[in-house]
Amino acid sequence: GQSLEQPSEVTAVEGAIVQINCTYQTSGFYGLSWYQQHDGGAPTFLSYNALDGLEETGRFSSFLSRSDSYGYLLLQELQMKDSASYFCAVRSYNQGGKLIFGQGTELSVKP
């Protein structure tokens, strides 16, 4: 089977750096994606890692270690608008390439 684990809640202050971890168990792992969802909104794509290492997109970075079945999303210079839920999702070719989402981490950014 497949499973993903991420913290349910994280709180940080404006301007800070926060890291949201994701560990996964799956066979036929292909890549790890991150999606952001604001309250009442739809999930939107943030990043995708297929290879080990860090991918940077502006204030957001995502990291993957395939050997450790582990990844994280790093948010820098936090802003109030970053308050949202963040989902990691794995893509497995044993599952026809469909995305399996984690339960999400609710990030609260305080002033």
Partner 1 sequence: DAGVIQSPRHEVTEMGQEVTLRCKPISGHNSLFWYRQTMMRGLELLIYFNNNVPIDDSGMPEDRFSAKMPNASFSTLKIQPSEPRDSAVYFCASSLKGPSYQETQYFGPGTRLLVL
Which residues sit at the interface with partner 1, rule CB under 8 A?
30-31, 41-45, 48, 50, 87, 91, 93, 95-104
In the complex, what is the shortest distance from the CB of residue 98 to partner 1, in angstroms, rounded to a whole number?
6
Quote the least distance from Cβ 54 to partner 1, whole Å.
17
**Minimum CB distance to partner 1, residue 69 (Å):** 17
Q: Helix (H, G, I), strand (E, B), or coil: what is residue 46?
A: strand
Of the pair 98, 110, the CB lying nearest partner 1 is at 98
Q: From CA 62, how far away is CA 39, in angstroms rounded?
A: 22
Strand order, beta sheet including 53-57: 3-5, 18-25, 70-75, 60-65, 53-57
For the CB of residue 86, give the shortest distance to partner 1 in the complex, in Å: 12
Q: Which is nearer to partner 1, 72 or 85 (CB)?
A: 85
If the CB atoms of residues 78 and 104 are measured against partner 1, the closer one turns out to be 104
Between strands 70-75 and 60-65, the pairing is antiparallel
The set of residues, in sequence order, having a beta carbon less than 8 Å from that of 58 and lying 6+ positions away, is: none
Please say which residue, 18 or 105, places its beta carbon nearer to partner 1: 105
Distance CA 62, CA 53 (A): 8
